[in-house]
Amino acid sequence: MARTVVTLGELMMRLKPPGKLRLRQAQGFEICHGGAEANVAVSLAHLGVHSRFVTTLPEGELGTQALRFLRTHGVDTASIQRRPGRLGLYFMEEGADYRSGCVIYDRAGSVFAGMAAEDIDWDEAFENADWFHMSGITPALCNGTRILAETAINEARRRGIRISIDLNHRERLWSYGIGACDVMPAIIARADTLIAGRGDCLACLDMDGKGENGSPEWAASLSQKVLAAYPNLERFALTIRASASADEHDWQAFLDTRETQVFSKLYTMKHVVDRVGTGDAFCAGLIYALLERQPPQDAVNFGAAANCLKHSIAGDVNEVMVGEVTRLAGTTAFGRLRR
């Protein structure tokens, strides 16, 4: 495929006790790598898109291991820098039934947090790029990465590259004196596509829909507000999650292209394997479908099916191929053993 998607962000190592053990019970950790924008890049690579991930990784073994992760999945790593410093980490405790899982970030002072806009050769980073994707996490980390994020948006825009933003609000991260509300609106104002859930809209945009949470009325009214406030946006994708327990989630998306408003299929997942990265899987699925010029209903269904499949895959990234997503999006017979 000739399309090139670029994403920029932090890649962390994730450390998780096996199975349903709590962190305090752990005798060891399973590790994988992840980060919102890296997850999107990896998922796109699995979907056959040429995806390039821009970041800084530490010199030494832990940076090499992180780089190998990206190469394993076929991501273009040519624009990745290596600097002395530490790798961002996060510890994760998987929830179970009524017990919530949790994430403990240990990413302060990472080599990525010290990355500056000047470190990047933007021509190289955006070479042949059709699409640039970023999340609200990078500007949340520190003032330096905020500037980095804003510069990236500007550089992409200057080159006429399409831009998508996943709000991805993490309250705990915004701790350097500036709030999401101060930063994100200006970033959104330069994007083409916005992806967000209700909590993201409340925290970053101070907007909510009218009517019962999750209802068509509510979705339409929230979407209208967002699109009205940000006339640059071509489309707004609203993600809707409900969780009955750590193992059981409902997920659906709503896509408003100003012309059409469509809901995706609603997936009711009762045996969640790994909830992390499911939002990123939707972003990747949606970007893929939009690059493929799928009509809105197909595009949002493709993204939702990608999201649904991610719930069944261990790790942060969505290791599924186009055929698998399409098959799920088009069927109502689930879970047969293929042999």
Interface with a second copy in residues 45-74 (CB under 8 A): 60-62, 64-65, 68, 71-74
Please list every residue from 151 through 180 that binds a second copy, using CB under 8 A.
170, 172
Q: Are 26 and 7 in contact (CB under 8 A)?
A: no
CB 128, min distance to a second copy, A: 17
Least Cβ distance, residue 2 to a second copy (angstroms): 16
Nearer to a second copy by C-beta: 86 or 133?
86
**Contacts to a second copy from residues 278-307, by CB under 8 A:** none
Does the protein bind a second copy through residue 1 (CB under 8 A)? Answer: no
The amino acid at 229: A
Which pairing describes strands 102-106 and 89-93: parallel, antiparallel, or unpaired?
Answer: antiparallel
**Residue whose CB is less far from a second copy, 160 or 335:** 335
For residue 61, what is the enclosing H or E element?
helix 61-72
Min CB(324)–a second copy separation in Å: 8
Residues 21-50 binding a second copy (CB under 8 A) are 21-31
**Integer Cα distance of 204 and 189 in angstroms:** 13
Residue 2 interacts with a second copy (CB under 8 A): yes or no: no
Q: CA 246: distance to chain centroid?
A: 20
What residues from 72 to 91 belong to the interface with a second copy (CB under 8 A)?
72-74, 86-87, 89, 91
Measured between alpha carbons, how far is 109 from 113 in angstroms, rounded to an integer? 6
If binding means CB under 8 A, how many residues of this protein chain bind a second copy? 79
| CB neighbours of residue 141 within 10 Å | 26
Question: What is the x/- site pattern for a second copy, positions 93-112, by CB under 8 A?
Answer: x-xxxxxxxxxxxx-xx---
Residue that is written with structure tokens 């979907």 in the block: 47
Subset of 230-269 contacting a second copy (CB under 8 A): 243-249, 267, 269
CA distance 66 to 42: 13
Shortest Å distance, C-beta 23 to a second copy:
4
Q: Which residue has the tokens 């209903």?
A: 297
Q: Which residues within the stretch 181-240 sit at the binding site for a second copy (CB under 8 A)?
A: none
Q: Do residues 110 and 87 lie in contact, with contact meaning Cβ atoms separated by under 8 Å?
A: yes
Q: What are phi and psi of 143, to 5 degrees?
A: -65, -40
